[in-house]
Structure 1
Amino acid sequence: MDDDRWTGLVLILGGLLWVWLALKLKNKSKPWRHFKMVAIGLTAVLVGIVFLFKLHR
C-alpha cells in the first residue's frame, strides 16, 4: 500500500472514532457542539474514502 491509501485508512478510522466520541459525549446543553463534531468526523471519513480509493487526480 502506498502513502495515500494509508492516509485514507487512518482518516476513515479516525473519523469513525470521532463520530463515536461525539455520540457518546452528547450534551444537551450544547447541541451545536455535537453536530459540529459529527460533521467533522463524517468529513474525515469521506476524505479518507477518497484517499483510499484514489478518486483524486
Structure 2
Amino acid sequence: MQKLKSFIIECKRVLKVTKKPTGEEFKTIIKVSLLGALLFGAIGFTIFIIKELLI
C-alpha cells in the first residue's frame, strides 16, 4: 500500500513540473515525427525493393 501511495505522490510531483507545449513546439514535434516515420518507411521500402530484385 505504501508503494502505491508513494507512486501517486511521485506522479503528482512530475505532473506539476511538466508544461503543455506551445503551438510552435507542437508543430515542430509533429514535423520531426513525420520526418522520422517517412525516413524509416523509405529505408524499409528500399530494402524491400533490393531484396525483390535480388531474388
| TM-score normalized by the length of structure 1 | 0.45
| TM-score normalized by the length of structure 2 | 0.47
Bigger proportion of residues as helix:
2
Larger relative CO (CA 8 A, sep 6+): 1 or 2? 1
